[in-house]
Amino acid sequence: MAEKTMEFKTELSQLLHLITHSLYSHREIFLRELISNSCDAIDKIRFAALTDADLLDGDNDWKISLSVDKDAKTLTLTDNGVGMDEDALVENLGTIAHSGTKAFLAQMEEGAKDNPDLIGQFGVGFYSAFMVADRVTVETKQHGKDAVKWTSEGTGSFTLDAGTLEQRGTSVTLHLKDDADEYMEEYRLRELVKKFSDFVEHPITMMVTRTEGEEDDKKEVETEETLNTQKAIWLRSKNEVSQEEYSEFYKHVSHDFTDPAEIIHYTAEGAMEFKALLFIPAKKPFDMMMGGGDQKAHLNLYVQRVFISNEFENLLPTYLRFVKGVIDAADLPLNVSREILQENPQLDQIRRNIVSRIFKTLKAMKKSDEKKYLEFYAEFGQVLKEGLQSDFENREKIADLLYFESSTTKTGELRSLEKVAAELGEDQKEILYLSAEHRGIAENSPFIEGYKADKQEVLFMLDPIDEFVLPHIGEYKGKTLKAVNKGAAGDDEALKDEKEKFKGFLGFVQEKLSGVKEVRLSTRLKESPACLVGEEHSMSPHIEAMMRRAGQSVPKTERILELNPTHPAVEAVQAMYEADGSNEKLGESVELLRDLAHVAEGSKVEQPAAFASRIAALMASDLAK
């Protein structure tokens, strides 16, 4: 055929500018798009050959080949797929956003139920080649037709000429721009195939040069190597995949070196169909161990084996970011660049489905192998708790998975919140807890003295995150979570006589102490003289101190000083007040009671030097007797 020049059917100069500068965020995407087109071409001929075996021409060694010519500065992709004749070439490459794939599916829709799953949908992927090439040449041949050559510089026209291909298929040659030399390097092409197309069904091959022989007999040999693994194990049924294959794949997608704790492999069917292969790690990954680490969840999203992205924040909530794996969903509403997920109810369906599966798996692990679950919990429990304040829908499911130390356990032993709630008697309506910096402070805290005396269990919240998120549970299994260092405790009627006795003294203490909201007698104290209590929904001193250490400005919370009316120290100070309300030692003694309350809860006294001086004076007075 004679060479001829034709105009594109749309205003290509403007549209190509949009495609090459705005549609794709990274120009390396071009290789993924061209490989996807080649995969589609192979799948089309395989499908068509089911009813017409002559189309194969005896060639069924399906593959996509990459080749580089550094002298000519070209990268070529060749496939042995369906190919195109002149009309198809003009229609598919001469019209922007005309998708041959969509047209093919439309034609096949009435003729067969089991159509091949093809990747292309929008007909713009091919033009991503112009992000790295200033000229593109396509040679293609369809079965029983003449080969055709298409060339364009991506401006406003293209030329058609006779091609030289002898076998069915398509060859796309990119004449690379000056700043695109990296795409002629073997390591870079391997990297991109591994990233985007590692699991496509068909082998992606490349001729590479290797040195063979000993020192005196070395020679360079060209050999063909396959760049992709093709092992998309999530598309196989569970009974076809070995534990070794699962472990190998997990290490590939997670960059972990240990085996996963649990594997979740299933196919979701119904209104929204997708395949999922998820892994719950056994150990915290390196990035989560470094400070804040990466706070996003990263599941690898594939569409028919082709990697799209792992940056979709709405596929998995951040508090499950430790979960790794793959979601393959052909019907997701991607935009034309296949990089951005459009808002769609299908996304919510996928999210709810996989979150539900993750909780089901964790609950099963907790029930069947508690030791294994607690090993997981030691690594990821703190992250899991974040969901209490962000995922109202699954709050109780998260709470079912929580464990804490308690006043009834030994150091390091954990109790399931679910079990604690189940063992409470019907008359006890509250799950009691205390937040503390460490176990030593919690188990010796004055706040739990009364509860220990009554043989009531108090959970110890020792993770820094606990006090931020636990209040979001509110009620669990019909029981209210109550902090033992906040609000009132016990029956005030039990202190009726003491209140009358201490009435004037309490007012005196209130007057002497600044920064104390109220002074009252305590029913929670059995051994300690005093404690400082917050109001029901106030911030604890532990959290205040943590936030100040982080550089945040936190207003000081006025708290309530509770005094133990049966403690000898309190009785002695009260007696001193009754004997002589103007005694100079009274003020010092009252300050000392507040300081002792600070020390007992593990917080700093407001004036350490004055506190030390008071203790020294007390020691001197006592030792002098």
pLDDT digits (tens, 9 = 90+) for 39-59: 989 988 888 888 888 787 766
- Residue type at position 70: K
Residues paired with residue 406 on neighbouring β-strands, in sequence order: 459
**pLDDT at residue 121 is higher than 50:** no
Instruction: Taking residues 370-378, report their average pLDDT.
Output: 96
Task: Report the share of the chain in percent with pLDDT over 70.
Answer: 86
Mean pLDDT of 603-623: 81
State the Cα–Cα distance between residues 369 and 379, nearest whole angstrom.
16
Angstrom distance (rounded) from CA 478 to CA 497: 35
Report the 3 state secondary structure along 200-245: CCCCEEEEEEEEECCHHHCEEEEEEEECCCCCCHHHCCHHHCCHHH
Classify residue 415 as left (phi > 0), alpha (psi -120 to 50) or beta.
beta
Q: What angle do CA 441, 390, 429 make, to 5 degrees?
A: 55
Residue-level pLDDT at 122: 38
Residue 118 confidence (pLDDT) above 50: no
572-599 residues labelled b (16+ CB within 10 A) or e (exposed): ebbebbeeeeeeeebebbbbbbbbbbbe
pLDDT confidence of residue 355: 96
CA distance 209 to 211: 7
State the Cα–Cα distance between residues 340 and 215, nearest whole angstrom: 52
Measured distance CA(615)–CA(596) in Å, rounded: 10
What pLDDT was estimated at residue 584? 82
Sign of the alpha-carbon dihedral angle for 274, 279, 285, 291 = positive
Give me the mean pLDDT over the 179-202 stretch.
Answer: 92
Using a pLDDT cut of 90, give the percent of the chain over it: 43
- Could you tell me where the beta strands, DSSP code E, fall in 484-553? 516-521, 530-533
Nearest residue to 274 (alpha-carbon basis) of 352, 195, 387, 360: 352
Categorize the per-residue pLDDT at 361 as very low, low, confident or very high, splitting at 50, 70 and 90: very high
Task: Give the tens place of pLDDT for each residue, 310-339.
Answer: 777 778 999 999 999 999 887 665 543 444
Cα distance between residue 448 and residue 432, in whole Å = 9
DSSP 588: H
- Reported as a pLDDT band with limits 50, 70 and 90, residue 24 is low
Q: Does position 266 have pLDDT exceeding 70, yes or no?
A: yes
Mean pLDDT of the residues in the chain? 84
pLDDT of residue 479: 92
Give backbone dihedrals phi and psi of 435, rounded to 5 degrees, phi first: -90, 135
For residue 282, pLDDT beyond 90: yes
At position 119, the amino acid (one-letter code) is I
Neighbours of 493 (CB within 10 A): 8
Question: Which of 285-294, 297-306, 476-485, 539-548 has the largest mean confidence?
Answer: 476-485
| Separation of alpha carbons 565 and 166, rounded Å | 102
CA of 334: how far to CAs of 223, 316, 337, 594, in Å? 38, 17, 8, 63
Q: Please give the Cα distance from 305 to 198 (Å, whole number).
A: 8
Tokens standing for residue 284: 């915290």
Greatest alpha-carbon pair distance for the chain in Å reads: 121
Structure tokens at 182: 């990296």
Give the pLDDT mean for 133-156: 90
Contact present, 499 and 520 (Cβ < 8 Å): no
3-state percent helix, strand, coil for the chain, nearest multiple of 5: 45, 20, 35
**Token duo for residue 276:** 């999922």
Answer for the pair 55, 48: CB distance below 8 angstroms, yes or no: yes
Q: Which residues of 505-518 are buried (b: 16+ CB within 10 A; e: fewer)?
A: bbebbeebbeebbe
Which of the four pLDDT bands, split at 50, 70 and 90, describes residue 60? confident
Averaged over 71-88, what is the pLDDT? 93
- Strand locations in 462-601 (E): 475-476, 479-483, 516-521, 530-533, 559-563
Residue whose pair of structure tokens reads 């936030």 in the numeric block: 547
Residue 34 pLDDT > 70, yes or no?
yes
Domains and CATH numbers, the chain: 4-226 (3.30.565.10), 233-371 (3.30.230.80), 402-483 (3.40.50.11260), 492-536+555-623 (1.20.120.790)
Q: Decide the pairing of beta strands 300-303 and 324-328.
A: parallel
Mean pLDDT, rounded, for 195-212: 88
Give the pLDDT mean for 521-549. 82
Residue 338 confidence (pLDDT) = 47
∠ CA 391-395-397, nearest 5°, is 125
pLDDT of residue 376: 96
CA distances from 171 to 82, 142, 200, 347 (A): 12, 12, 19, 37
Helices (H) and strands (E) in the chain, counts: 19, 23
Q: Which two tokens stand for residue 543?
A: 């959290």
What is the three-class DSSP state of 325? strand
The label of the residue with tokens 């794949």 reads: 249
- Residue 107, pLDDT > 80, answer no
Taking residues 439-455, report their average pLDDT.
Answer: 90
**What average pLDDT does this structure show over 277-282?**
95
Ordered strands of the 324-328 beta sheet? 262-268, 274-280, 324-328, 300-303, 306-309
For residues 193-210, average pLDDT: 90
Q: How confident is the model at residue 102 (pLDDT cuts 50, 70, 90)?
A: low
Q: Strand 306-309 relative to strand 133-141: parallel, antiparallel, unpaired?
A: unpaired
Q: How far apart are CA 307 and CA 268, in angstroms?
A: 19
